[in-house]
Amino acid sequence: MTVDRRESLRTFGAFVAGAASPGQPPSSGGPQTGLLAPLLELVNATEFESMSRLVLPPARYQTISGGHRRSFDKMTFRQRLMVYAMDLDLTTELFGYEMFAPIIVGPVANQGDLHADGELGTARGAAAAKAIMVATSESSHPIDQIVSASSEPVWSQVYAASGRAGDDAARAVAAGCKALCVTIGVSPDGAPIATNWDAVQQLTQAVNVPVVVKGIMGVDDARTALQRGADGLVVSNHGGVVGGHSALPVDVLPAVADAVNGQVPILVDGSFRRGTDVLKGLALGATAVMVARPPMWGLAAYGAEGVQTVVEILQTELARNMAMSGRPTISMIDRELVRFDKW
């Protein structure tokens, strides 16, 4: 029997104290060799990090490991009690598409170094979890193959600083990508650089799909991106490459959201590891959250099924915490939900 995951979430509110998943995860369990735990025994996204460490060379593992938790750990929730939660619904509209949940698999380069299936496995896993995937121009597979592997929308990420950004963008749109994510502030090899806003504007004018500028870490950049034609923003410091870790993306998210004031959707990334993290990001002004490293942990250890399971765990945790906080629908999530603790 096929389980409708949206219907499952609507009834999930009656069981908010449990840990049942909205829909059944894959039954095959992924790789069972060596020291890897059976896939279905993993209960949160962070457990997949230790599994990926078992299968990757140390140097490659280091590129997808870690995270910075201090900002999330300073936030707690103000719960609303006695709120009817049977109509639990994570549905979120973004650029005319109704997402199952406000969680997007973010761009990571050269995924073939993590698993033989590379981006094709990520595309299949994200689609099975009903999630959008962002494929990077530095992928191990051609963009048309990645798009074909997914039944959900695929976005493409290009670098504003790349001399081939225009060609990469045109190729992605021709392949069927539904949006373009333009990365600013870093070069394709990951080095921090100054933003070429003229290049950003050229891309916004050259394609007929929404253009989202990734790498916003302040109000001034947000306003400039809008002036240059951005249809959306991603608050991101590229894993600490820009600005270090003195301020995390979730720290600057509220100021950016206030400055944008609903003109365009705002996404955010950076160390989102739990459903509570996602809920905090939404409360502080994000339309959706990008997660990159956790799905890569799943890919490295278990392939497409690992990606699917990681995303579904995050969706389930988000659903449970929405219900327990008295905000069973996305529209009910507001900034009053989050309280900042000083320590």
Has residue 171 been placed in a domain? yes
Has residue 237 been placed in a domain? yes
Residue 182 φ/ψ, nearest 5 degrees: -100, 115
Has residue 327 been placed in a domain? no
For position 154, which CATH number holds?
A: 3.20.20.70
> Buried (b) or exposed (e) across 37-49, using 16+ Cβ within 10 A?
bebbebeebeebb
Has residue 79 been placed in a domain? no
* The total number of structural domains that make up the chain: 1
CA dist 12 and 9 (Å) reads 5
How far CA 276 is from CA of 45, 154, 289, 310, in Å, comes to 12, 25, 12, 14
Residues of the chain with pLDDT under 50: 1-3, 10, 12-33
CA dist 57 and 37 (Å) reads 18
Has residue 163 been placed in a domain? yes
Tokens (6 digits) for 23: 């829909």
Has residue 310 been placed in a domain? yes
Has residue 123 been placed in a domain? yes
How far CA 216 is from CA of 237, 248, 261, 268, 277, in Å, comes to 7, 11, 15, 9, 19
Q: Containing domain of residue 116, as a range?
A: 91-316
Residue 252, amino acid: V
Q: Which of 57, 104, 59, 121 is nearest to 298 (CA)?
A: 121
Global pTM value: 0.89
pLDDT at 8: 59
Has residue 52 been placed in a domain? no
For residue range 311-336, list pLDDT tens digits in order: 999 999 999 999 999 999 999 999 99
